[in-house]
Amino acid sequence: MKKIIVVMLLLFTIPAFAGIRAITDTGEEVILNSDGTWEYLKSPAVGNDIPVNSVSYTKPGSAQFLLKSTMNNSGFWVDTQKWQFSKASQNEAAEYEFKLKGKDLYGITITEEMSIPLDSLVKIALDNLLKEAPDARVILKEYRNVNGLNLIHMQMRATVSGIDVVYYGYYYSDDSGSTQLLTYSSSKLIQRYQAQAYELLNGLVAQ
């Protein structure tokens, strides 16, 4: 995740309960929320220039089970000591569903045979969320290299059924099709389970 480095000596509180405004090391204005989360003051628009994260990510050594997609060549390395999974039943668009055992952190995979340009894939993901949650917005978007795959990492925040939900997602496409791998929880819990969320996300591979 992008590190927030405050480069202004003078911080000021914006009205109401919106939090503290700060500047990142790349010059973007962000809001530091009282619950420990942060978001862009102006959500970056999908399709604009996307920054590149210089870190290369790999699957955790504890992820020993390879769950394979039946739709394309995507695979998902899973630590079965931490995560339980099943064929999706709650979301008809998804292929698999995940749950961190005993915790309120969830995940889904949406896999398709159609190859979709990455900038279009993340726009479709945001548009679909906006249909369910009109206040949905992007709070982070960047290119990442994960297990040798060049993909987009996007975080979104939205009010769903009265719950403030944050989604961490990896979006990938190749000749075999397109894949969305997402983890999500409430905004108050996502920071607590951030390490586990990225352990699942970083298990994404192409078979």
Let me know whether 97 and 196 are in one domain.
Answer: yes
Claim to verify: residue 37 and residue 74 sit in the same structural domain: no
- pLDDT tens-digit map of 11-25: 333 333 445 666 655
pLDDT on residue 2:
43
pLDDT tens for each residue of 41-80:
544 444 458 999 999 999 999 999 999 999 999 999 999 9
| Cα pseudo-dihedral 135, 140, 143, 148, rounded to 10 | -100
- The pLDDT of residue 47: 44
- 32 and 57 both lie in a single domain: no
Residue 81 inside a domain? The answer is yes
> For residue 41, what are the contacts with CB-CB under 8 A and spacing of at least 6?
21, 28, 29, 30, 31
Q: Which amino acid is at 58?
A: T
Q: Is residue 47 part of a domain?
A: no
More confident: 29 or 98:
98
In tens, the pLDDT along 171-186 reads 999 999 999 999 999 9
Residues 6+ apart with CB under 8 A from 130: 136
The pLDDT value recorded for residue 15 is 38
Name the pairing type of β-strands 52-57 and 83-87.
Answer: unpaired
DSSP, res 199: H
Which residue segment(s) compose the domain that 2 sits in? 1-42
Dihedral sign, CA of 206, 128, 95, 61? positive
pLDDT of residue 25: 53
Co-location of 35 and 62 in the same domain: no
Same domain, 188 and 89: yes
Q: Note whether 75 and 172 are same-domain residues.
A: yes
From residue 181, how far is each of 88, 107, 170, 173, 201 by CA, in Å? 13, 7, 5, 11, 7
Nearest to 65 by CA among 79, 86, 84, 85: 79
- Domain count within the chain: 2
Residues 133 and 167 in one domain: yes
In this structure, the answer to whether residues 58 and 136 fall within a common structural domain is yes
